[in-house]
Amino acid sequence: MHIAVICKQANYDRISAALIELNAQLQISQPLTSWNTALEYIHGAKIDGVVIEESISFFSQVSSLPLPSLVYSGHHRDFRDAAKKWITSLGLAITSMNEETEDSKQETEVISTSPDNNQSKKLKTGTKVAIVAKDSNLVELITSFGGIQIVASTSSFQDVMSLETLNHPEVIFIEEGVMPKEESTLRELKINQIVTEYKDMVGVRLVMMLFERKNTRLYKKMIEKGFYNFLAKNNVTSADIERLIKVPRTRQDTIDYQDEEPVESVQVEHEVQQSNQSEKKNQPDENSKPSAVISMEEPIAKKSFLMSRVVEDAGVATVKEEFLHNPEESAKESRETSQTIAVLETPEPAVPKPTKRKPFFQNIFRKANQTEFILQTSSPDQVEKMKNEEIERVTNHTVFAYPMPHRVLFYSPKGGAGTTSIVVDLAEGAAVNALGVAEISYSYGQIAGRLGLHPSYTIADSPDGMEELAVCKDKYLCSPWIYSVKKPFNDTLVKEWLVRAERAFGGKTILADLQSQSSPLILMASHEWCTKSIWVVQNTSYHLGMADMQMSHLKKMGNEWRKVGILIQGGTKEQLPWEEVLGIPVIGTLPSDMLSKDWKMNLHDIMAEYLGMPVMV
């Protein structure tokens, strides 16, 4: 029986696999992606039925053809059930893989010929596969493949090392997105640990889908260990994934990763000693211009561990010089010049080291540093007194202490109050890997243009499971430069974008910059997601009126409005009844000059107190 499949190229594998799984005798056409191609094929061949994708532009014309038709709406499970009934109605029997006998399963096999030894390797259908992945679309795609049996599906990285938890599979498929969003060096160590654990294990084959890296050092290490069952590229098709799971890869299949020159910022000594002779010949060229190599790192790429250490050492040296100078100035009257020089030259005493003021969202702030400074210059009684006062203030002013990272929503009911500027300032002053910024903006984004970023992907089009590819400067997930007004921007889309932000910034505090003057449904969806919400307004009656109108809608839809705090940014000096009208607290007031030092310090103080960071009160 001949079936014509009219669909988009991306969904063809899923549709054809479902049909062949139900009846292997079906003759299925290639994907017909245009109206002219479909019409020509139907007239030129004897067609018994048509499968039509609902989202194609010429759906109405195709569905009017006088042929038995089946509609694919995008939901694989529903389509499989409908396809079973449709095939039965055409007079064909269902020959599902689950209904075959054990003998027939063993007769069906996929043969892969190795270029190295010209030996054939057989992979029987019904192979037990365990999926370790976060992307639901990827899991659904693998489930649709014929000839495999899914014995376990989990999104927890901790389950990888337990065969009992995975129900003793023959193939373990791992997506790198399940690993914690830590430094790339630590993640690579975990990958190598898994490879070492399963590489020589009999009866279990490990396959991995990794993020594409500019630096191929990780791939080369796995190839040197004899592990070839991995895929590392952005544009992956369903056929690539199916081939990765079903057919063992050889060294010849990894030739792309072997020939590509690594982009290394620092050469480690033990790596040089372990490299082969061919690599030693290339070492002078790689090490001759280290500065040029470092400059080639893209914003998305993580810095190497050794580069981070160099930067930290330079910062610490500067801090020591600054803080050791101030105590000598304060004690200048009571010490001689020779003693001052001796103190500077001798090692530091065994007291708490003075610390540079850490960036925001790292729980060491300015007043804690002042206490450490006093430890260097005050008497023991004064030190004890200051410590007691500090503890008392912390106890009396602690607001909340969340056991998980914050999800903070920034929103301006009227717009034009400087919300984006506040979010960018907090992000730029944050510690490394402390937080991420998600821009939820409609019609056009602002952050990329303001910071001069040129992201390859945005929050709207980042590949599922690979959202970190869209992150710029390790902390910005930007909206599109221009988002078409013809596309929907509703609560469903906002929820999807916020989920992508969680995947991109796993384990970090997330600052979401929401589009101003959003609809009540978008407000409700975003406030259900956040742990805290900050409405940025100007001290004008117009801003108060807009906030009152939108707050009334939010109150009618639940108790999410209790998460909101008002942050007043500039405006008039008029005393407006913000708390009385809105019924929510004013968490702080910022001066009009956003470039002043006091403005930034006040902003950080307000945020720390509102988010319940107890060191800063």
In a shared domain, residues 314 and 449: no
Q: Is 265 within a domain?
A: no
What does the pLDDT look like over 456-466, one tens digit per residue? Answer: 889 988 888 88
Lowest mean pLDDT among 356-365, 411-420, 541-550: 356-365
- Do 244 and 144 share a structural domain? yes
| Residue 420 lies inside a defined structural domain of this protein | yes
Do 416 and 564 reside in the same domain of the chain?
yes
Indicate the residue among 40, 72, 99 that finishes a domain.
Answer: 99
398-413 burial code (b ≥16 CB/10 A, e <16): eeeeeeebbbbbbbbb
Sign of CA dihedral 86, 87, 91, 93: negative
Location of structure tokens 């042929």: 67
- pLDDT at site 117: 41
Q: Of 117-131, 346-360, 482-496, 520-534, give the lowest mean pLDDT range.
A: 346-360
Residue 291 lies in a domain: no
pLDDT, tens digit (0-9, with 9 covering 90-100), for 214-261 = 777 888 888 888 888 888 877 777 778 888 888 888 887 777 776 544
Give the pLDDT of residue 317: 41
- pLDDT, position 355: 47
> pTM of this prediction?
0.40
CA distance 459 to 471: 9
Q: Residue 372: pLDDT above 50? A: no
Quick check: 99 pLDDT over 60?
no
* Residue 277 belongs to some domain of the structure: no
84 Cα distance to chain centroid: 38
Pairing of strands 532-539, 435-440: unpaired
Instruction: Convert 484-501 to b/e letters by CB count within 10 Å (16 or more is b).
Output: eeeeebebebbeebbebb
Q: Which tokens sit at 316?
A: 């610490």
Phi, psi for residue 436 in degrees, rounded to 5: -135, 155
Is 427 found in the same domain as 355?
A: no
Edge-first strand order for the sheet with 2-6 is 27-28, 2-6, 49-53, 69-72
Facing residues of 587 across strands? none
For 122-162, the three-class secondary structure string (H helix, E strand, C coil) is EEECCEEEEEECCCHHHHHHHHCCCCEEEEEEECCHHHHHC
Give me the pLDDT at residue 391, please. 52
236 and 135, same structural domain?
Answer: yes
Q: Which of 233, 259, 285 is the last residue of a domain?
A: 259
Residue 471 identity (one-letter amino acid): V
Q: What is the mean pLDDT of residues 511-524?
A: 93
Please tell me the predicted confidence (pLDDT) of residue 388: 62
Are residues 93 and 35 both part of a single domain? Answer: yes
CATH code of 517's domain:
3.40.50.300
Is residue 188 assigned to a domain? yes
pLDDT band at 124 (very low <50, low <70, confident <90, very high): very low
pLDDT at 572: 82
CA gap 210, 230 in Å, rounded:
7
Q: How confident is residue 571, by pLDDT bands cut at 50, 70 and 90?
A: confident
pLDDT at 616 over 50: no
CA distance linking residue 283 with residue 236, whole number of Å: 33
How far apart are alpha carbons 304 and 271 in whole angstroms? Answer: 14
**Per-residue exposure over 80-90, b if at least 16 CB sit within 10 Å of its own CB, e if not:** bebbbebbeee
CA distance linking residue 437 with residue 435, whole number of Å: 7
3-state secondary structure at position 112 = strand
Q: In the predicted model, what is the mean pLDDT of residues 449-453?
A: 88
State yes or no: pLDDT of 145 exceeds 50. Answer: yes
407-419 average pLDDT score: 92
Most confident option among 214-218, 494-498, 602-606 = 494-498
Do 85 and 184 belong to one domain? no
Question: Which of 75, 99, 123 is the last residue in one of the domains?
Answer: 99
User: What is the per-residue pLDDT for 208?
Assistant: 87
Q: Is residue 476 part of a domain?
A: yes
* DSSP string covering 215-233: --HHHHHHHHTT---EE--
Residues 87 and 110 in one domain: no
Strand partners, 174: 132, 208
Average pLDDT, the chain: 73
Compute the average pLDDT of residues 319-342. Answer: 46
Band (pLDDT 50/70/90 cuts) for residue 501 is very high
Q: Which of 136-140, 218-222, 311-315, 324-328 has the lowest mean pLDDT?
A: 311-315
CATH code, domain carrying 146: 3.40.50.2300
Which three-class secondary structure state does DSSP give residue 514?
A: strand
**Closest of 470, 51, 61 to residue 234, by C-alpha:** 470
Partnered with residue 439 across adjacent β-strands are 513
Q: At what angle do helices 520-529 and 541-556 cross, to 10 degrees?
A: 70
| pLDDT band at 548; cut points 50, 70, 90 | very high
Instruction: Name which of 66-70, 123-127, 178-182 the model is least confident about.
Output: 123-127
How far apart are alpha carbons 616 and 411 in whole angstroms?
A: 24
How confident is the model at residue 310, as a pLDDT?
Answer: 37
Is residue 601 situated within a structural domain?
Answer: yes
Per-residue model confidence (pLDDT) at position 429: 82
List all residues 6 or more positions away from 146 whose beta carbon is below 8 Å from its beta carbon: 17, 20, 21, 97, 125
Number of separate domains in the chain = 4
pLDDT for position 45: 78
How many Cα neighbours within 13 Å face the side chain of 153? 12
Residues 25 and 95 occupy one common structural domain = yes
Are residues 337 and 231 both part of a single domain? no
The DSSP output letter for 472 is B
Q: Decide: residue 78, CB within 10 A, 0-12 exposed, 13-18 middle, 19+ buried.
A: exposed
Average pLDDT over every residue of 576-604: 89
**Residue 211 falls within a domain, yes or no?**
yes
Distances in Å between the Cα of 29 and the Cα atoms of 72, 79, 353 are: 16, 18, 73
What residue numbers bound the domain in which 172 lies?
104-259
Over residues 302-313, mean pLDDT: 36
Q: Are residues 74 and 162 in the same domain?
A: no
pLDDT for position 287: 45
Query: CA 573, CA 580: separation in Å to the nearest integer?
Result: 18
Q: Are residues 436 and 557 in the same domain?
A: yes
Residue 385's pLDDT is what? 63
